[in-house]
Each structure stands twice: as structure tokens, then as C-alpha cells.
């Protein structure tokens, strides 16, 4: 949610910042801006994409070796040139880029208005820039002292990069709730919302913690906290991310690349975690906490969006195999409803980014109430893995497309391994069945490869559906979360209204919507509810709905009932979500492309939602 890049060193700052903003554009893309300090302050902002900003300033001066930029996902104020970041204080002393929300901005603004400050934008960030200037002009303080003092008055979440026109050799950066990473080069430093714009230049990074304030000059970096001017020792880490993973690899969109990467990303997810003879699963991050998980009274899964759908699959897996009751919660609901949490509950937070504000808040509540809190995350070093007691990384590689694809299948793969291992620990699965299940999991990548082979036929089906305005997705059991995920994918990127439903629930409402215009996508591979879902398909057919069915290879029964049939290879029921979601990802992708949507950057969405 909003991308920030800063640079101080010996190279041209503009080139580094603009390139970094393009890599971070998946975090927000409604407007962009850049500030360069080169004896004087250059400030350029533009509604739209980073490329619009670039085009609008192509003939303007862009010198200097210190600068910062921002690509925005609007929270306060509509996307336009004025509300775009960076924001400058009234007399131009401070320039600020900000990710997050300053919750008490209205009170601060009122005070500043009384002090004769005026505001150009509707943003909370401009209020903060003016607050800085107000304190700075009051007394004999350095820019750093001013920042620390102003932050002690701020309530909310932020990742901030701040420049002071009077101190042209410094970048000040601060974090609370919104991630910031500092890259350390030779006589140069980089700041960004995540490591993607940094790895081209250096792998040595510092992830800021909440309440950290870093003052960066070309000669070095000083880390302090908002409360204390005492320097603290930064924890320098090596980041494990390759620049090669950050391009489209010949595909038209990141989303398509990421869909096609799934045979490999899933293999990466279980690599090294399954014994070569498939006799056992070993999840290093959970070694020490298994005794507590084995005896859990209950498992509570918290997540948002696609990760929540993975959590629903987890519910089916844990309950079926490990026989532990599971609740799946939206982070945003859990955090505000005073949930009952027992010390022998195990809470699992699932998050691709590891930064989703609502999920983070939920785990803090669970921790405070004594539960064991685990994380399943993709982004290494992100906030959730750092705040949980233990966890497992999905290792799916960077996911850039805003619509999540390979992260979902990787999350389900981890949940599958956790559920099987837990079942084995608890003796709720026989060792024979355990081995067979593991074996079946290891051949899933080949089956995904085969499922991807329906690409061309799915394009044909997409052509037929692309002008629909509504659609219904149905599934039962393990395939119900897949129906939800298929519907979410479609609405996210094609803007077609789509509802996911448990197939049998259709008759309690959505069936009223079915007529000859209504596409009904039914996930109906061969499993224990197959006969039941065949009856549901009959009910749709009787109302003349357009049936698109995802079926197991060789299915003849549904083939005779549905207008379009997309096949996936046969697999065990508990693995069917990983496989059957693939055609739904492709279907939404092609429909969106045919409708002319910006697939990787759909309107109003952001990849990582760091505000509540
Ligand atoms: C945003 C993204 C979704 C994602 C959700 C949760 O809404 O657009 O694709 O599923 O956040 O994100 P997380 O990083 O916690 O999985």
C-alpha cells in the first residue's frame, strides 16, 4: 500500500528513485511524485502511473544525488496532482512521503490552522509536514529532533521518509506499522517500502522496527527511536531476493507469469521439507512448537482476501486429518470483536505480504491473550514473521500481480503439510495413508503443468463470457473455497460482479438470479460430493444458466450437461483446491485481458494493504 523509495549517495538519485517506483507500483498506482535536493528543492507530482510522471517531467531538471519518491494508493483525498506525495510544508522546510494513516490528523490540522498554517491538499501527510515545520521554526532543534518530537504527537501508522531543505545531506526515515527497509551500499543508502527496488544495488539491508527513526547521510546511518536519542545497533541482514525474479520473464503480465510459475513455486514450497522417501514432513520453523500445536484446543486462522480463502481450505484439512476444531476469521473482524482466545489455542496468520494491517492487529491480540501465534507468509523478513512466535515461509518467490495466484497455492501447500504432519503427530492418520498423501503432494507440480495445458481452450471460453455482467461460482467441500477464490479473481481484475457460493446453498437465494444470461462456474472434480454437485448442476441447467464446469479428466457425466468443460488431472480430494483453482485463475486473466483491464494493476486495489 503506497510505495516509497529514497536514495542518498553518489549516483543520480532520479534514475534510482524512478526505477524503484516502477518496481513498487504494484503497491499503489493512482499518482506518483518525486523530490530531488540539488542545492534547491525540485518537487514533481502527477496523477496516474509512474510513467505519466516520467513523461510530464522529461524536459525538467533532474539532477542531484539525494531524492525520494512515492507511488500512491489514496486514503485521504482523491487521487490528483495536489494530493500526490511528496508533500511540502508551507515554507518549504520539510518534504515528506508517507505510507499509512495519521489518525489524529484532524486535531493536528485544527491546531495548525490556528497557527495560520494553510493547506493545499486534503491529505494527512501535508498536516504532518506542516507540524514538522511548526516545531522546527519554534526552537533550536535539528531536523532529526524535530521529527522525533513531532512523531511523539502523532497517532496512527506510518512509514515515512523526510527531507529537510536546510539539511541537504540527510534522509530521515521512521516506521510505525508500515514497513521500511534500508539498503546499505558503499557510501550510499537506499530506503524503500520493500526490498524489491534495493536488491539490484545491495543485498545488505536493515528492516526498521516500529518506533525506529533512522538518520542517514552518505557517511553513515544512525538508528534511534522516537522516544530516545540514544543510538541503537542496527540489525543488518542479507536479503534473499534476485533481480531476475522481478521481471515478466517474457509474459504479457506478471499475473500470467505467476500463474505459469506454479509448478515450480509449489515445488519450491515443499522442497527440503519432505523426506526423499516421502515418509515424513519436516517444517523447520515449527520444530520447537509442535508439542503445543499437537495439544491445541482449537486452531484459529486469521487472514484477509485470498489468504482467507486459503485459510478456509486449511479448516477442511485440519479438521479432516488432525481432528482439531478450526475457526477461520477475517483479521478485520477478529480484531474488533473481543474474541475469546484460550492459552491453548493456536492462531495461524496467513499473509502473502506479511504486512496486512488487519492480520497484524489480529495476531497482536492473540499474542496478548497468551495463544501460540504462527505465521504462513511469503515475504521473508516482513512484519508478520517477525511478530509471530514461529512460522513457515511459503517460498513462492515475489508475487507482483495484484491478484494473488501462486501465493494462494503455496499457502494451501503449507497448510496441507501442516495438517498432515499434525495428524501424524496426533495419530489421527495411519502411517500408510500419511505416506501416500505426501507422495500425492509431490506429484502435484506435474499435474498443474497439465492443467495449464488448457490455456487455449480457456481463452475460447473467456471469449464467450467476456461480456457478462454477473456470474456465480459454485463448489462443495474443499472446492467451496476454490469457488470463492475464482469469483474473487474475476471481480478483482475484470470488474464483473461474481459471487462464490457453496453449491447447495444456491437454492437459498442465488438461484433466483439464474437465467439464460447467467454464467455459472461450477468446480466439480471427482470427489466425495461429486453426485451432490451433479444435482446442483441439474438445478442450474433447469433454469437455463450457462454452465462452465471444472471437471476431472475423462468426466463424461458433466460433459453432457455443461456448455463448457475444463479438465484437470485426477488427484486426491484434499489436493483438489491446488489443482482446480488453476483454470479459474486463467479464466479471470483472459476475460480481464479481453475486456481491456489493467490486469497487474486493477483499479482501486493494492497488493499490500497496510491500513485498516
Ligand atoms: C490485498 C490484495 C489481495 C490479498 C489481500 C491479503 O487485498 O490485493 O490479493 O489477498 O490483500 O494480503 P496478504 O498479503 O495478507 O495475503
3-state SS track over 104-150: CHHHHHHHHHHCCCCCCCCCHHHHHHHHHHHHHHHCCCCHHHHHHHH
What Cα–Cα distance (Å) separates residue 88 from each residue in 47, 111, 118, 415? 17, 18, 12, 47
Residues sharing a CB contact under 8 Å with residue 604, sequence separation 6 or more, in sequence order = none
**Cell match 495438517: residue?**
419
Residues with CB under 6 A from ligand 1: 304-307, 351-353, 356, 359, 402, 404, 605, 607-609
392 has pLDDT over 90: yes
Over residues 295-325, the pLDDT tens digits come to: 999 999 999 999 999 999 999 999 999 999 9
Pairing of strands 497-502, 470-475: parallel
Residue 33, H or E segment: strand 31-38
Distance CA 489, CA 584 (A): 8
Grid cell locating 234: 542496527
Q: Considering only CA atoms, which residue is closest to atom 4 of ligand 1?
A: 305
The proportion of the chain whose per-residue pLDDT surpasses 90, expressed as a percent, equals 87
Q: Considering only CA atoms, which residue is closest to atom 7 of ligand 1?
A: 305
Annotated active-site positions, please? 2, 607
Residues sharing a CB contact under 8 Å with residue 382, sequence separation 6 or more, in sequence order = 179, 194, 351, 353, 354, 355
Residue 162, H or E segment: strand 156-164
pTM above 0.85, yes or no: no
Distance CA 359, CA 335 (A): 8
**Cell match 461460482: residue?**
473
What does 568-586 look like in DSSP terms, one character per residue? E----GGGHHHHHHHHHHH
- The chain-wide mean pLDDT, for the chain, equals 94
Beta bridge partners of 199: none
Query: How far separated are the first and last CA of the chain, in Å rounded?
Result: 11
What does 68-88 look like in DSSP terms, one character per residue? EEEEE--SSS-SSTTTSSPEE
Burial of 561 (0-12, 13-18, 19+ CB in 10 A): middle
Looking from the CA of residue 605, the nearest atom of ligand 1 is 8
Residues sharing a CB contact under 8 Å with residue 187, sequence separation 6 or more, in sequence order = 9, 10, 218, 219
Residue 610's pLDDT band, with cuts at 50, 70 and 90, is confident
Residue 1's pLDDT band, with cuts at 50, 70 and 90, is low
Residue 457, H or E segment: helix 455-465
| More confident position, 53 or 244 | 53
Find out whether the peptide bond into 11 is cis, omega within 30 degrees of 0. no
Q: Are 159 and 178 in contact (CB under 8 A)?
A: yes
Looking from the CA of residue 356, the nearest atom of ligand 1 is 15
Please tell me the number of Cα atoms within 13 Å of 437 on its side-chain side. 23
Over residues 514-548, the pLDDT tens digits come to: 999 999 999 999 999 999 999 999 999 999 999 99
- Which residue among 399, 400, 404 has the greatest number of ligand 1 atoms within 8 angstroms of its CB, and so is best to mutate? 404
Over residues 169-216, the pLDDT tens digits come to: 999 999 998 889 999 999 999 999 989 899 999 999 999 999 999 999
Q: Are 28 and 20 in contact (CB under 8 A)?
A: no
Residues sharing a CB contact under 8 Å with residue 323, sequence separation 6 or more, in sequence order = 423, 426, 428
CA of 608 to the centre of ligand 1 (A): 6
Distance CA 556, CA 56 (A): 58
Amino acid at each position: 500500500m503506497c510505495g516509497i523509495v529514497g536514495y542518498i549517495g553518489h549516483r543520480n538519485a532520479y534514475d534510482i528513485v524512478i526505477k524503484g517506483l516502477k518496481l513498487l507500483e504494484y503497491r499503489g498506482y493512482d499518482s506518483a511524485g518525486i523530490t530531488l535536493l540539488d542545492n534547491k528543492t525540485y518537487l514533481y507530482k502527477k496523477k496516474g502511473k509512474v510513467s505519466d510522471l516520467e513523461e510530464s517531467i522529461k524536459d525538467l531538471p533532474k539532477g542531484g544525488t539525494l531524492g525520494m519518491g512515492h507511488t500512491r494508493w489514496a486514503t485521504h483525498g482523491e487521487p490528483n496532482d495536489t494530493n500526490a506525495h511528496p508533500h511540502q510544508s508551507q515554507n518549504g522546510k520539510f518534504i515528506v512521503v508517507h505510507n499509512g494513516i495519521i489518525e489524529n490528523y484532524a486535531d493536528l490540522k485544527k491546531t495548525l490552522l490556528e497557527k495560520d498554517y494553510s493547506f493545499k491538499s486534503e491529505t494527512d501527510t501535508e498536516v504532518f509536514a506542516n507540524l514538522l515545520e511548526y516545531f522546527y521554526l519554534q526552537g533550536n532543534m535539528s531536523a532529526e529532533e524535530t521529527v522525533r518530537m513531532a512523531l511523539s504527537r502523532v497517532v496512527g501508522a506510518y512509514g515515512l521518509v523526510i527531507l529537510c531543505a536546510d539539511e541537504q545531506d540527510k534522509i530521515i526515515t521512521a516506521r510505525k506499522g508500515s514497513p521500511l527497509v534500508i539498503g546499505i551500499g558503499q557510501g550510499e543508502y537506499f530506503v524503500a517500502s520493500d526490498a524489491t527496488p534495493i536488491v539490484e544495488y545491495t543485498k545488505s539491508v536493515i528492516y526498521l522496527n516500529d518506533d525506529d527513526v533512522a538518520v542517514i547521510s552518505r557517511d553513515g546511518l544512525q538508528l534511534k527511536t522516537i522516544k530516545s536519542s540514544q543510538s541503537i545497533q542496527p540489525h543488518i541482514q542479507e536479503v534473499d531476493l534476485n533481480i531476475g525474479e522481478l521481471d515478466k520473464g517474457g509474459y504479457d503480465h506478471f499475473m500470467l507469469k505467476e500463474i505459469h510459475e506454479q509448478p515450480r513455486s509449489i515445488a519450491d514450497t515443499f522442497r527440503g521439507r519432505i523426506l526423499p522417501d516421502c515418509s515424513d514432513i519436516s517444517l523447520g520453523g515449527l520444530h520447537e512448537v509442535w508439542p503445543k500445536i499437537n495439544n491445541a484446543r482449537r486452531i484459529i486462522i486469521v487472514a484477509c482476501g485470498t489468504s482467507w480463502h486459503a485459510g478456509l481450505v486449511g479448516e477442511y484439512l485440519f479438521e479432516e486429518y488432525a481432528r482439531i476444531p478450526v475457526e477461520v476469521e477475517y483479521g478485520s473482524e477478529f480484531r474488533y470483536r473481543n474474541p475469546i482466545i484460550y492459552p491453548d489455542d493456536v492462531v495461524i496468520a496467513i499473509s502473502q505480504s506479511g504486512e496486512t494491517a488487519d492480520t497484524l492487529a489480529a495476531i497482536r491480540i492473540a499474542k496478548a491473550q497468551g495463544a501460540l501465534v504462527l505465521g504462513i507468509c511469503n515475504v521473508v523478513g516482513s512484519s508478520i514473521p517477525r511478530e509471530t512466535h514461529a512460522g513457515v515461509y511459503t517460498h513462492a518467490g515475489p508475487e507482483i500481480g495484484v491478484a494473488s495466484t501462486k501465493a494462494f497455492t503455496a499457502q494451501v501447500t503449507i497448510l496441507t503439510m501442516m495438517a498432515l504432519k499434525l495428524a501424524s503427530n496426533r495419530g489421527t492418520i495411519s502411517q500408510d495413508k500419511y505416506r501416500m498423501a505426501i507422495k500425492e503432494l509431490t506429484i502435484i507440480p506435474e499435474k498443474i503443468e497439465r492443467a495449464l495445458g488448457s490455456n487455449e481452450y480457456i481463452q475460447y471460453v473467456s471469449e464467450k463470457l467476456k461480456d457478462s455482467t454477473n456470474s456465480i461460482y459454485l463448489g462443495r467441500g474443499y472446492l467451496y473455497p476454490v469457488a470463492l477464490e475464482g469469483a474473487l479473481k474475476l471481480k478483482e481484475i475484470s470488474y464483473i460482479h461474481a459471487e462464490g457460493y457453496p453449491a447447495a446453498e444456491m437454492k437459498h437465494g442465488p438461484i433466483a438470479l439464474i437465467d439464460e444470461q447467467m454464467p455459472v462456474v461450477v468446480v466439480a472434480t471427482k470427489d466425495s460430493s461429486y453426485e451432490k454437485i451433479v444435482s446442483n448442476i441439474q438445478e442450474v441447467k433447469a433454469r437455463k444458466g450457462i454452465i462452465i464446469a471444472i471437471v476431472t479428466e475423462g468426466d463424461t457425466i458433466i460433459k453432457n450437461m455443461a456448455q463448457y468443460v475444463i479438465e484437470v488431472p485426477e488427484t486426491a480430494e484434499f489436493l483438489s483446491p491446488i489443482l482446480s483453482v488453476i483454470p479459474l485463475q486463467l479464466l479471470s486473466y483472459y476475460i480481464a485481458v479481453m475486456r481491456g483491464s489493467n490486469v497487474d494493476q486493477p483499479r482501486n486495489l493494492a497488493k499490500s494493504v497496510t491500513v485498516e
